[in-house]
Amino acid sequence: MCEPRAVVSHWHRREYEGMRRQAFGYGIGLGAYLAATARARSALLGVMLRRTVPAARHLLDPASAKNASRGVSFPRELVWLERAGIVAGPFAYAVSRRRYRHWTARQVGRLP
């Protein structure tokens, strides 16, 4: 279900090192989410594959809605860290699944 009134906000870090970790972490989260979705709902795999080219265009095209508002002073390193995180995300998801494979839902809810 789509909720057009939903608002999502996030905080950018003040220190550059924090921004680096945040960009990479956001990428890992997206990559892990896509891997988890493909695993849990294999019926969506065809749709996900058909959307790969438009998604890559959105991620890579400087004129896309994602990138157009970035100024020339936006650090390219942060862009590449996010992209590296997306690639690393499925591996991080696999490691997490392996690490917690014997845990129950209740135990996972108590993670620190």
Host domain of residue 77: 16-98
Predicted pLDDT of residue 5: 73
Does residue 107 sit within a domain? no
Q: What is the pLDDT of residues 16-60, one digit of tens each?
A: 999 999 999 999 999 999 999 999 898 988 999 999 999 999 999
Number of domains in the chain: 1
Does residue 106 sit within a domain? no
CA–CA distances in Å: residue 85 to residues 7, 25, 107: 24, 6, 27
CA–CA distances in Å: residue 68 to residues 22, 60, 62, 74, 104: 20, 11, 6, 11, 44
Does residue 63 sit within a domain? yes
Q: What is the pLDDT of residues 52-100, one digit of tens each?
A: 999 999 999 999 988 888 888 989 999 999 999 999 999 999 999 888 8
Does residue 71 sit within a domain? yes
Does residue 82 sit within a domain? yes
Does residue 74 sit within a domain? yes
Does residue 111 sit within a domain? no
Does residue 11 sit within a domain? no
pTM of the model: 0.76
